[in-house]
Structure 1
Amino acid sequence: QAGVAGGSPISFTNSNAQYALVKNSISRSKNRCVDLWDTSNVLAAENVAYDAEGHCFAVGPNSQNNNLISNLGALTRKASVPILGANDDTEASTFYMGNPANTWSANVAGGSERHGFLLETSLTEPLGRFDGNRAHSNVESGICVKGYAPSNLQTFRDTNSFRNSNTGLQIIDSTSVEFNDGNVADNRHGIEIISAGGGTNPVVDLANLKISGQTPGYKGLASFVDGTPVLCTGYASGPAVDGLAVHPNNAIVWAQSLHFSGFTSAD
């Protein structure tokens, strides 16, 4: 049911009862995968989704106290027919997070045409929990936090984002967020902070992260798989690769205990 609100394989609307969605598989959906809209108290765990259009595991802006744990989403495509008022056709993400007051733990997002994880919200609620998540091989970004400016510092823990075509971690128009512990590797841009600022606590904190321009494993892959870009060539003519890029913004950026490696052709 492409473009139909509520027409996803698994869809909850206006539900507050306790439900568990465990060990289900969804393939080739034309309208998302698991869609939680105005819904609370759902556990979605150990589900697998493949080759879906639109946001795959989607949590709407009025949904909270849901738990998404150990789910796998692979090959998320832009929606050919988007839901009215949604951005599935332009910002398709394997995990769409419209409300921060939920739990995302130990999930994997691979191969999205836009984002692996997208937290897109103007809400200021505290982050429920975001830890142990992995994003790889996505076109735009592994993880994107956009428009989020809570009152107190909220921490994303043990985040791993690698082999994304553009950016491992994007922080856009957001403040009072911290990424603590994890790995960012083999991306054109490791971490980008764009137009951050405003809010009551204009701080972006990066701590205890390992950031690699090109790991030995990726360099070996690029040497024998046609079409795989060599990120760090050692020549000025190579692609622009950076570990941390802070664009003009009004936030206080703290970068502490970061380890950078793999930014020369010899690494």
Structure 2
Amino acid sequence: KNSIIFSKNRCVNVHGTDGLYIGENVAYDTVGHCYALELGSETNNLFDKNIGVLTKKASAAASGETDTTPATFLITHPGNSWTGNVAAGSEHYGFWISLISGVSNEVVKSFADNTIHSTFHMGIRSNPVGWRPSVPQTLVNTKVYRNRVRGMFLQLSSNIIFDGGFVSDCRHAVDVRLSDYITFKNFFIRGNTDDYMAIVNSRVGQPSHCTTATSGIRPHINVYTAGNEGTTLENVGFSHFARPECNANSVAISMDSHYRVQSFTAPTSFSGITFDTTASKDAISLCRIATQGVTNIAILDADGSFDPAGSSTGPGTIVSDDVSMTDGKTCEAMINSCAQYCQGDSALKAGAAPAPSPATAPSPTEPAP
């Protein structure tokens, strides 16, 4: 139980040490990564009920270090535990999963009840190496809100389950890029909530991401192949994407358009999805990706949650509004969504080419907003 204030070189830096308990500390107005695993070889450490507030970037970083893009919690090896922590007000990231080479397949000991808010860039970032544990790992009750750009950014990752929690009041809530076996279950994804808008409206003349299009979740583009599972949503509730005072192009579900290489193909599936609006244009949109030449999106709707008629119990398929995806199928247009809803799952194979070789991983770069 310590108070750490105005540190010019991190907060609690674990260097080549295993089996520590780092608990109930408060760090305020510090420079560089705050609670950090330095070498990437550290294991069996427990970070429990720590708070990091106002994590600032360093003006320069030592060779091999990344403190100019700081995280309140820097994770370089998954084999540790993070429970009940709070990251608030980082100039870059709340939790940064920045693994060293050779440990990306390791499992986490525990990740539960962590809260991330008010970061300038991203709440949780998994990049550039990505995390691909050998067996599925469940991150429990993760709460992410009021982050300027992204709530979560998952890239080059796999076998991660977010069970419980929410992402709220971020310009882009969740981006899933070049990743497979990513699951959100018993989860909420919210656009601009009433509480957030009350704060925005009280700050006259200050910027708000409400003026730009807000997105909920953006899986990477896909066609239906014999490849891996992609992004799965189970019992996920979407809300607050249809505010009349905010950008009209805000949408709960769209597709990531950063990499449009069709050779990374993993099917996306939904079940138990709910919305606070019946307007499909606020729920899902394939319009942006269609303008970039991708017209063979296929998403499995396992239980009929997206059926425009509201009469289906599934399965159904959300597909690009293109004849190659709908020809010979029983489909209905999803208004203003550049998509059609087809009964059954036969449309999943419409227009799909044989599975090509996996895509070459891109060079790690900071993603565009």
* Same fold per superposition (TM over 0.5): yes
Shift of 1:248: 4.0
CA contact (8 A) 2:95 2:125 kept: yes
- Larger relative contact order (C-alpha < 8 A, sep ≥ 6)? 1
Corresponding residue number in structure 1 for 2:218 = 245
Letter in 2 for 1:154: Q
Over residues 203-237 of structure 1, what are the superposed CA-to-partner deviations in whole Å (9 max), with x where a residue is unaligned?
A: 11111111110111111111111315162xxxxxx
Residue in 2 aligned with 1:36? Answer: 14
Determine the C-alpha separation between the residues in 2 that align with 1:256 and 1:63: 34
What runs of 5+ residues in structure 2 fail to find an aligned partner? 223-227, 245-275, 277-369
- Could you tell me which amino acid in structure 2 is paired with residue 50 of structure 1? Y
Q: Report how many aligned residue pairs link the two structures.
A: 233
CA contact (8 A) 2:189 2:216 kept: yes
- Note if contact 1:177-1:205 (Cα within 8 Å) is conserved in structure 2: yes
**Which ranges of 4 or more aligned residues in structure 1 deviate by more than 6 Å?**
none
Q: 2:93 aligns with which of 82, 95, 115?
A: 115
Runs of at least 5 residues in structure 1 that lack an aligned partner in the other structure: 1-22, 197-201, 232-237
Kept in 1: contact 2:162–2:185 (CA 8 A): yes
Give a deviation string over 1:37-87, Cα, whole Å, max 9, x none.
Answer: 111011111101111111100013100100000000011111123132011
For 1:83, which of 58, 62, 70 is the aligned residue? 62
State whether residues 13 and 35 of structure 2, in contact with CA within 8 Å, keep that contact through their aligned partners in structure 1. Answer: yes
Query: Given residue 263 of structure 1, which amino acid in structure 2 is its aligned partner?
Result: F
Q: 1:215 aligns with which of 193, 199, 203?
A: 193
1:95 maps to 2:78: no
TM-score of the superposition, structure 1-length normalised?
Answer: 0.83
Superimposed CA distance per residue, residues 161-187 of structure 1 (whole angstroms, 9 cap, x where no aligned partner): 000001111111111111110011100
> Could you tell me how far 1:145 is from its partner in structure 2?
2.3
Deviations 1:106-164 (CA, angstroms, capped at 9, x unpaired): 10001111100111114111111110000000011111223111111111110000000
Over the matched positions of the two proteins, sequence identity in percent amounts to: 36
Query: 1:106 maps to which residue?
Result: 84
RMSD, matched Cα: 1.6
Cα distance between partner residues in 2 of 1:76 and 1:34? 12
Q: Distance in 1 between matches of 2:233 and 2:112?
A: 19
- Which of the residues 128, 137, 152 maps onto 1:154? 137
Post-superposition CA distance 1:229-263 (Å, at most 9, x none): 162xxxxxx30101101134776111111100001
Match of 1:262 in 2: 240
TM-score normalized by structure 2? Answer: 0.61
Equivalent residues of 2:124, 2:152 under 8 A apart: yes
Cα distance in 1 for residues equivalent to 2:207 and 2:117: 14
Q: 1:190-201 alignment to 2 at 5 Å? A: 190-196=173-179
- Letter matched to residue 168 of structure 1: G
Is this contact kept in 2: 1:27–1:50, CA < 8 A? Answer: yes
Point out the structure with max Rg over C-alpha: 2
Give the distance between the partners of 2:202 and 2:94, measured in 1 at CA: 26
